[in-house]
């Protein structure tokens, strides 16, 4: 075998410039599920966490509560999981065996506005409720709205309540997750949306279900084919809730009265970035490879690439 040909300096320099340009491009132009709905690229540590869960047979680090359904005709193998049962910093959904959750559409709360195109109307959502679980909290903010709007606010339905005999329940507040706190939702294709914990699953159906979001959040991930009666069936969506009061934007930390999804999403991005940055390297301990473009070069995965 002949010896490898050394990479010439001009070629190496071109590769460095190209790599740096790609990093800048990814930072400046986030991925989009729909051309009119903002969605972020997945940060490296959260991407590692996502793929670690997908590649592990036992994709639940610590099971807090199980027996939930993600798909109506599926099995009750979905659980609420955490990274630390004693001092949890995150809670997420796992379907076991490398699966996570699907994404169904929740139309509850206020409707109307410029982005209301009828995809989440009463006739298309058989379990529609005119109020979300935390309407009273929203009203206490006195920010000009009476409740969350499914077309504007990217809210997540998280937690299960009910009083039917044998009904499976889970209350995230018992582990430190607070109403209207920021959540991270990872959709396949390197897409991430920051959402708000805005509603809970009740016992109005036949089974305790998980994996619902507002039409605004679903549209950001999958486009306008999402409707009140048509969601995403793949079991590869990750929902991450963060514990602690610092995960709550509160009255002044989000543009609650925004008229469109993009405006609201941008108002919680800064807080969402901070919450994701504090996550550990990954479920399976995979090393995080971070990259920063700095004047004069790129620092990537522990290597300095001079420009």
Pair of tokens at residue 144: 């000009």
Cβ neighbours of residue 23 closer than 8 Å, sequence gap 6 or more: 291, 293, 298, 300
Pair of tokens at residue 73: 């005709």
Highest mean pLDDT, choosing among 32-46, 113-127, 153-167 = 153-167
pLDDT confidence of residue 37: 85
Pair of tokens at residue 258: 């925004």
Contact 239, 99 (CB under 8 A): no
Does the residue 144 lie in any domain?
Answer: yes
pLDDT confidence of residue 6: 54
Instruction: Assess whether pLDDT exceeds 50 at residue 186.
Output: yes
Highest mean pLDDT, choosing among 35-44, 68-77, 289-298 = 68-77
Contact 185, 197 (CB under 8 A): no
Does the residue 265 lie in any domain?
Answer: yes
Average pLDDT over residues 178-184: 98
Does the residue 300 lie in any domain?
Answer: no
Average pLDDT over residues 281-295: 38
Contact 103, 232 (CB under 8 A): yes
Range of the domain at 101: 34-285
Which among 7, 8, 12 is positioned nearest to 307, based on CA atoms? 12
Q: Which residue has the tokens 């969350």?
A: 148
Which among 258, 160, 176 is positioned nearest to 211, based on CA atoms? 160
Report residue 201's pLDDT band, with 50, 70 and 90 as the boundaries. very high
Does the residue 306 lie in any domain?
Answer: no
Average pLDDT over residues 226-236: 94
Average pLDDT over residues 133-142: 98
pLDDT confidence of residue 209: 96
Does the residue 20 lie in any domain?
Answer: no
Instruction: Assess whether pLDDT exceeds 80 at residue 9.
Output: no
Does the residue 234 lie in any domain?
Answer: yes
pLDDT confidence of residue 11: 52
Angle subtended by helix axes 261-277 and 215-222, to nearest 10: 80
Pair of tokens at residue 276: 């994701």
Question: How confident is the prediction for the chain on average, in pLDDT?
Answer: 84
Percent of the chain with pLDDT over 90: 70
What span, in angstroms and rounded, lies between the C-alpha atoms of 111 and 117? Answer: 10
- How many Cα atoms occupy the beta-carbon half-sphere of 252 within 13 Å? 0
Total number of domains in the chain? 1
Instruction: Assess whether pLDDT exceeds 60 at residue 24.
Output: no
Instruction: Assess whether pLDDT exceeds 60 at residue 3.
Output: no
Instruction: Assess whether pLDDT exceeds 80 at residue 8.
Output: no
What span, in angstroms and rounded, lies between the C-alpha atoms of 139 and 292? Answer: 41
HEC-encoded secondary structure of the chain = CCCCCCCCHHHHHHHHHHHHHHHHHHHHCCCCCECCECCECCCHHHHHHHHHHHHCCCCCCEEEEEEEECCCCCCCCEEEEECCCCCCCEEEEECECCECEEEEEECCCECCCCCCCCCCCHHHCCCCCCCCCCHHHHHHHCCCCCCCECCCCCEEEEEECCCCCCCCCECHHHHCCCCCCEEEEEECCCEEEEEEEEEEECCCCCCCECCEEEHHHHHHHHCCCCECCECEEEEEEEEEEECCHHHCCCCCCCCCCCCCHHHHHHHHHHHHHHHHHCCCCCCCCCCCCCEEEECCEEEECCEEEEC
Cβ neighbours of residue 165 closer than 8 Å, sequence gap 6 or more: none
Instruction: Assess whether pLDDT exceeds 60 at residue 281.
Output: no
Pair of tokens at residue 148: 């969350």
Report residue 304's pLDDT band, with 50, 70 and 90 as the boundaries. very low
pLDDT confidence of residue 58: 76
Does the residue 15 lie in any domain?
Answer: no
More confident site: 18 or 55: 55
pLDDT confidence of residue 296: 35
pLDDT confidence of residue 294: 33
């Amino acid at each position: 075998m002949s010896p490898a040909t050394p990479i010439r300096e001009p070629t190496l320099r071109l590769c460095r410039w190209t790599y740096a340009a790609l990093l800048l491009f990814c930072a400046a132009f986030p991925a989009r599920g729909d051309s009119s709905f903002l969605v972020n690229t997945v940060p490296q540590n959260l991407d590692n966490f996502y793929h670690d869960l997908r590649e592990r047979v036992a994709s639940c680090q610590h099971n807090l509560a199980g027996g939930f359904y993600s798909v109506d005709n599926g099995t009750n193998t979905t659980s609420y999981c955490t990274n630390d049962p004693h001092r949890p910093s995150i809670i997420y959904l796992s379907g076991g065996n490398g699966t996570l959750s699907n994404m169904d559409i929740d139309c509850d709360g206020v409707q109307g506005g410029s982005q209301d195109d009828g995809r989440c109307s009463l006739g298309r959502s058989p379990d529609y409720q005119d109020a979300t679980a935390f309407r009273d909290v929203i009203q206490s903010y006195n920010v000009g709205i009476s409740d969350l709007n499914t077309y504007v606010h990217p809210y997540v339905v998280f937690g299960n309540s009910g009083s039917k005999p044998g009904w499976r329940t889970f209350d995230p507040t018992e582990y430190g997750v607070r109403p209207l706190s920021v959540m991270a939702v990872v959709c396949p294709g390197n897409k991430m949306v920051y959402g708000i914990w805005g509603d809970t699953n009740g016992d109005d159906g036949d089974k305790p279900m998980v994996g619902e979001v507002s039409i605004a959040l679903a549209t950001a991930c999958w486009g306008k084919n999402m409707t009140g009666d048509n969601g995403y069936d793949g079991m590869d969506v990750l929902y991450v809730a963060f514990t602690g009061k610092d995960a709550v934007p509160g009255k002044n930390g989000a543009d609650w009265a925004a008229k469109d999804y993009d405006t609201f999403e941008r108002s919680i991005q800064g807080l969402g970035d901070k919450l994701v940055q504090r996550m550990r390297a990954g479920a399976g301990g995979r090393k995080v490879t971070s990259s920063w473009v700095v004047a004069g070069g790129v620092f990537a995965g522990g290597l300095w690439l001079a420009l």
